[in-house]
Structure 1
Amino acid sequence: MKLTNTQEDAVRRRDLLAGAAGIGFTLAMGLPTPAVAAGRPVPVDPAAGLGAALFAPSAAQPVTAARLDKGLAAAKADFMAARYGALGEHLPALLAAAEATRDAASGQAREQAQAAVARGYVLATELAFKQHSDIAWATSDRALTAARASGDPVVIGEAARVLGITMRRAGRPGAAVELLRRTAAEVDTGDPAEQAVAATMLLTAAYTAANDGQRSDALDLMGHASSMIERATAAPGRALFTVDATVAQVDSYWVSTFNALGTPDEGVPYAARLAAVRWTSAERAARAATDVARMWHRLGDAKQTFVALRQVEAAAPEEVRRPALRALTASALYGPATVPGLREFAQRTGAI
């Protein structure tokens, strides 16, 4: 499909921003700045390089805590902006530097480096989720091991959450819910940040229980998490890493939980509230729109499904090229209803 001049300008701006993001990461880590190829395509699987990073890591030197924090912040920014190709390219260097720094440190400095290692592996696991990669087992295990060594309850909660998701995806929902419940209770000592991360674990546990057909447990967990987030919002603490503990996040989880329970109609009021949300990151906006697209698809409304899919693309162009979104697009395309523009969208995003 031929692009208009306006669309071509948008593509050039996106390529420029993606290149600038990559340069920012390498400067933060003190690495050589690579040449940025104009119009360089996004890798088919941005998580493909994680295996080598895990099992045949490149040599790295310890860096200062400040440089490691900057590198981690740059990688997080890639994730939040849904620049998954850039994140996959730069994560191996970040993980190697974080582990080298951890191995060379002792005492409190080592604990701080352990937290950075844990969050690096949380990012790696989040990226693996986007591609449905089995490497998430290794990255989530390393994340929780490093998190527990750091002694930081918030980091422990963040790492336990991604391990719980890994367990659910591997067909162990009951064990995942138990892990998330137990860890949430361990880390929540009343501090607002700890309460917030505990609430995000319970949201994940609720969705996991829903996927296991446990409606009562799912609704109880959602209600508990919602109450905790209301309290945490009233007394905000430090920011979490890859997730938010907000009312909007709760609404998004209500939609996805009812989808998983097979009663998507119950999610419609929450989807209506999400329409007015101004998300703080492209990744969260795309995730919420994905939940809404799945809801409308389950309700048999192909037109509204396409509206939501276009919202995903508008928020995060790389998101609609993920395997799960391509499958959803293809399913909508080959359904009984014909929706103008959907075939072109499917072709553009690689769904057909």
Structure 2
Amino acid sequence: MAATVTSSPLTGTGPAHADEALLGELIVTRVRDALLGPVPAPTSPSAPAVAADLTRARADFDACRYTALAIRLPHLIHTARALAAPTDPEHCTLLAQAYLLVTRTLVKLDAIQLGWLAADRARQAAETGGNTLTVAEAAGQSAVLARKSGWHREALSIALTAADDLSLRTAGRAGTAARGRLIQNASYTLARRGDRDGMRVLTDEAAAIARELGDTPLLRDHGGGFTPLTVQLHRVSAEVHAGDPLTALSAASAIPLDALPSLERRSRALGDIALTYDRLGRRTECLDALLAAERLAPQETHARPATKSLIVSLLASGSASAELRGLAGRSGVD
């Protein structure tokens, strides 16, 4: 498996479907080795070179190219660690941004323990670098991990405390967008806690901030940006997890997929729609959404644990069509 993926081109077109089902595990293994391994010998990479590596890795994340991420993310960790100097704000901010991308990937792959390690390193580097927006994003990722660990009170506190930081209010439109993202983050925690009313209050607040800022994406490299459309996408997932899949489905109907800012966001939207149909017991529509996600982003669909869980749910809830069995096989689900 490892040899197959390693020999594939960075475009991510090489591995067969059977290998794609294991790409998530490969990414986690390689990132773990890079995070826990020794600090690389000094190679003096330039800040522009590391920034270029980060840009390429972000592009692979946005395009759901898991084969490429299995190569790029460990390389990015090594070069960023070799670059960072304890007192250089630019270097520390680059290091923090690299760790934040790693954290988002690990969260997507349900590697929560390793995600905590990457997120803590991101937080430390961000605070040393002193970049307000990076500090806010690091807080947001910590809140996500706290929520996924079942620590809802702590997750809520982390996100809302960061949103109230006065430095965001003096950071212009980007600072306002960061505040909106943190409020949105907190609303999702309330959804997971079953507080539907509280979730809607905070989601509406985030939506109001987004409308005030307009349709031009802000914080494009901070988890997909912040616009009225991305808040609407958040609303779909929040409503379904708060226990109202019909409202989630209504929210989804207002989202033009092609207008979302990246392939990753469109794939995520289809995953949320599939989950909504699953909660409504509409198996055919759920499978259709998953197959649409597969056509759009096959590597993510085959490798992501959340998708595998949905496929398992479909297999357990009724007879399996040839299409479902095919998707299950391509995703490594028995």
TM-score using structure 2 length: 0.88
Q: Name the aligned partner's letter for residue 74 of structure 2.
A: P
What is the deviation of 1:235? 7.3
Equivalent residue for 1:253, pick from 226, 234, 259: 234
Could you say which residue in structure 2 is the equivalent of 1:158?
Answer: 137
- Equivalent of 2:264, from 273, 276, 283? 283
Instruction: Give, in angstroms, the shift of residue 337 of structure 1.
Output: 5.8
1-structure distance, mates of 2:140, 2:146? 10
1:30-109 equivalences under 5 Å are 39=15, 41-42=19-20, 43-45=23-25, 46-57=27-38, 58-103=40-85, 106=87
For 1:237 and 1:303, how far apart are their aligned partners in 2?
Answer: 36
Q: Deviations over 1:81-136 (max 9, x none)?
A: 11123213222221222122222x74xxx111111111111111112112211201
Contact kept? 1:296, 1:304, Cα under 8 Å: yes
Give me the whole-angstrom Cα distance separating, in 1, the residues matched to 2:285 and 2:123.
Answer: 39
Distance 1:216 1:224, change over 3 A: same
The alpha-carbon distance between structure 1 residues 281 and 238, as it changes in their structure 2 partners (threshold 3 A), is: closer
Who is 1:12 aligned against?
none
Aligned length: 318
The structure with higher relative contact order (CA 8 Å, sep 6+) is 2
Task: Give the aligned partner of residue 121 of structure 1.
Answer: 99
- Root-mean-square deviation over aligned CA pairs: 2.2
Match of 2:198 in 1: 217
Using the alignment, how far apart are the partners of 1:267 and 1:77 within structure 2?
A: 29
> Do the aligned partners of residues 343 and 275 (structure 1) sit closer, same or farther apart at CA in structure 2, a change above 3 Å counting?
farther
Matching residue within 300, 307, 310 for 1:319: 300
Q: How far does the alpha carbon of each residue in 1:214-269 deviate from its partner, in whole angstroms, 9 at most, with x for none?
A: 22321111011111111222676564432210222111111111111111111122
Please name the residue that 1:5 is paired with: none
In the aligned structure 1, how far is the partner of 2:233 from the partner of 2:218?
22
Residues 219 and 225 of structure 2 are in contact (CA less than 8 Å); yes or no, is this contact kept in structure 1?
A: no
Call closer, same or farther: CA 1:216–1:39 in 2, change over 3 Å. Answer: closer
Q: Structure 1 39/338 Cα, relative in aligned 2: closer, same or farther at 3 Å?
A: closer
- The letter for the 1-side match of 2:307 is L
For the 8 Å contact 1:147–1:156, the answer to whether it is kept is: yes
Displacement of 1:338 in angstroms is 5.3
Residue 189 (str. 1) matches residue 169 (str. 2):
yes
Partner of 2:311: 329
Contact 1:88 1:127 (C-alpha < 8 Å) held by counterparts: no
Written as runs of structure 1 = structure 2, the 5 A alignment for 1:229-244 is: 229-233=210-214, 239-244=220-225
Give the whole-Å Cα distance in 1 for the aligned partners of 2:233 and 2:149: 23
Of residues 98, 114, 122, the one that matches 1:143 is 122
Matching residue's letter, 2:207: S
Change (3 A) 1:240 1:199: farther
2:108 aligned residue: 130
Hey, what's the Cα distance between the residues in 1 that align with 2:305 and 2:11? 24
Distance in 2 between residues matched to 1:273 and 1:144, nearest whole Å: 35
Per the TM alignment, residue 346 of structure 1 is displaced from its structure 2 partner at its CA by 1.4
Q: 1:177 is matched with which residue? A: 156
Identify if the C-alpha distance between structure 1 residues 247 and 335 changes in structure 2 by more than 3 Å, giving closer, same or farther: same
Instruction: Choose from 169, 188, 194 the match for 1:207.
Output: 188
The Cα of 1:325 is off from its aligned counterpart by 0.7
Secondary structure of residue in 1 paired with 2:110: coil
2:89 to 95, 108, 111: 111
- The two structures have a TM-score, normalised by structure 1, of 0.84
Structure 1 CA distance for aligned equivalents of residues 298 and 28 of structure 2:
17
Residues 127, 230 of structure 1: alpha-carbon distance in 2 compared, 3 angstrom cutoff:
same
Match of 2:9 in 1: 19
Matches of 1:158 and 1:289, distance apart in 2: 25
Distance 2:257 2:11 in 1: 29
Structure 1 residues 237 and 293: alpha-carbon distance in aligned structure 2, compared to 1, 3 A threshold = closer
Sequence identity of aligned pairs in percent?
Answer: 27
Secondary structure of 2:292's partner?
A: helix
CA shift, 1:299, in A, is 0.5
How far apart, CA to CA, are the structure 1 residues paired with 2:82 and 2:257?
45
Classify the secondary structure of the residue corresponding to 2:28.
Answer: coil
Distance across 2 between alignment mates of 1:276 and 1:76: 20
Alpha carbons of 1:97 and 1:266: their partners in 2 closer, same or farther (altered >3 Å)?
same
Q: Which among 277, 280, 294 is matched to residue 299 of structure 1?
A: 280
